[in-house]
Amino acid sequence: MKLILENWRKYVNEQNDILDDSANLIIKAIRASSETGPSDDDDWGPYKFHEVAARLLDPNLSTEENTKELIQKLPPLAKNNITRVLGHGEQGLVFLLDNGHALKVYKGRGRIADDGSGEAKYYASEKAKLFDQTGSITTLPVYDQGEVTIGKSKIRYVEMARFLPLRTFLENTGRAPVTDRGGTHIGQLLIYLEKYAAMKLNPDSHAAKNKDPYQIASQIKHRAQESKITTVELEGLRGLVLNVYKQYGEEHLGDLHVDNVGVLEQSVATGKPVFVLFDP
Ligand SMILES: Nc1ncnc2c1ncn2[C@@H]1O[C@H](COP(=O)(O)OP(=O)(O)O)[C@@H](O)[C@H]1O
Ligand SMILES: [Mg+2]
């Protein structure tokens, strides 16, 4: 009996440690970010970590109260600890879990739908494909996703595989994005691939109408060369854009850029990287 009690106490302590570790990490990240002040008025983004957190959480609760609730309510955190921050965008905070997955908490932003339901549908549909075998190589591995209420604030979450953001992948391989008029070559390449997909799959759309296929093809070639990506990589990216366009339509490609595309880590060393869209 004594042993059982001792083990129970140890178990309870371990559970508390998990709660504390994850909570401390979030609170520290928010504090460190707020010490850097607010974004400039003319900052188009990305918003700072603490500003995104403030938009997600309940303004009537303290950071500690919000964080505690977040940890109690997010299902992926029932079994896993947060080990670090992976990044943040305009509307989401992304953490690394000790099971190796990425956990994103987010709200809507307005590109697909104000309340984030468009993204939630994408994540739900990608998750289903993992199990019903309709997935393809570019399917985003999503393990869990849903909605929770923190205080009075409704937020969404998704637990997915961890990727190397395309920007990091290119930087790590000596091909940091080079800026050109109208953005980076790789950014422009993604935009032309989207035009290419529109031309192939929806020739009557605004993106495809009155466009010269030869001009699109030559831009793709030029931008691919300038960003030093290989033919295999170009075809991987083309396949991703075509797949997303075919399955979800143009509106899910409205935010296509190097910080929203990922490379599956296991595929990095193979020379045939697998690309996914982790932020539709
Ligand atoms: N699955 C992931 N693996 C690794 N890093 C990620 C993952 N998802 C997001 N990130 C990082 O977090 C950042 C913000 O995530 P993102 O989904 O783009 O949020 P937002 O909708 O706010 O733009 C990304 O640019 C990337 O650096
Ligand atoms: Mg993003």
Domain boundaries defined on the chain: 2-161, 165-277
Per-residue CA distances from 70 to 26, 54, 91, 250 (Å): 10, 13, 16, 33
Alpha-carbon gap, residue 236 to 169, rounded angstroms: 14
What pLDDT, on a 0 to 100 scale, did the predictor assign at position 10? 63
What pLDDT, on a 0 to 100 scale, did the predictor assign at position 118? 84
pTM over 0.75: yes
Per-residue CA distances from 177 to 74, 165, 170, 238 (Å): 36, 12, 7, 18
- The reply to whether ligand 1 has any atom less than 6 angstroms from the CB of 104 is yes
Measure 214 CA to ligand 2 centroid, in angstroms.
31
The bound ligand whose nearest atom lies closest to the alpha carbon of 168 is 1
- The reply to whether ligand 1 has any atom less than 6 angstroms from the CB of 92 is yes
What pLDDT, on a 0 to 100 scale, did the predictor assign at position 239? 96
What pLDDT, on a 0 to 100 scale, did the predictor assign at position 11? 61
Measure 16 CA to ligand 1 centroid, in angstroms.
28
What pLDDT, on a 0 to 100 scale, did the predictor assign at position 110? 45
- The reply to whether ligand 1 has any atom less than 6 angstroms from the CB of 126 is no
One digit per residue, the tens of pLDDT, for the chain of length 280 reads 667 767 766 665 555 554 568 999 999 999 999 998 888 765 666 689 999 999 999 999 999 999 999 999 999 999 999 999 999 988 899 999 999 999 999 987 644 446 778 889 999 999 999 888 888 888 999 999 999 999 999 999 999 999 999 999 999 999 999 887 778 999 999 999 999 999 999 999 888 888 899 999 999 999 999 999 999 999 999 999 999 999 998 888 888 889 999 999 889 888 899 999 999 8
Ligand 1, atom 17: closest residue by C-alpha: 279
What pLDDT, on a 0 to 100 scale, did the predictor assign at position 127? 94
CB 205 within 8 A of CB 219: no
What pLDDT, on a 0 to 100 scale, did the predictor assign at position 266? 84
Q: How many other CB atoms are there within 10 angstroms of residue 265's CB atom?
A: 15
Q: Is the peptide bond before 59 cis (omega within 30 degrees of 0)?
A: no
The bound ligand whose nearest atom lies closest to the alpha carbon of 88 is 1
The bound ligand whose nearest atom lies closest to the alpha carbon of 167 is 1
- The reply to whether ligand 1 has any atom less than 6 angstroms from the CB of 91 is yes
Ligand 1, atom 25: closest residue by C-alpha: 259
- Specify the CATH class of 2-161 in words: alpha beta
- Residues with CB in 5 Å of ion ligand 2: 89, 260, 279
> Which atom of ligand 1 lies nearest, measured to the CA of 119?
21
What pLDDT, on a 0 to 100 scale, did the predictor assign at position 181? 77
What pLDDT, on a 0 to 100 scale, did the predictor assign at position 135? 86
- The reply to whether ligand 1 has any atom less than 6 angstroms from the CB of 260 is yes
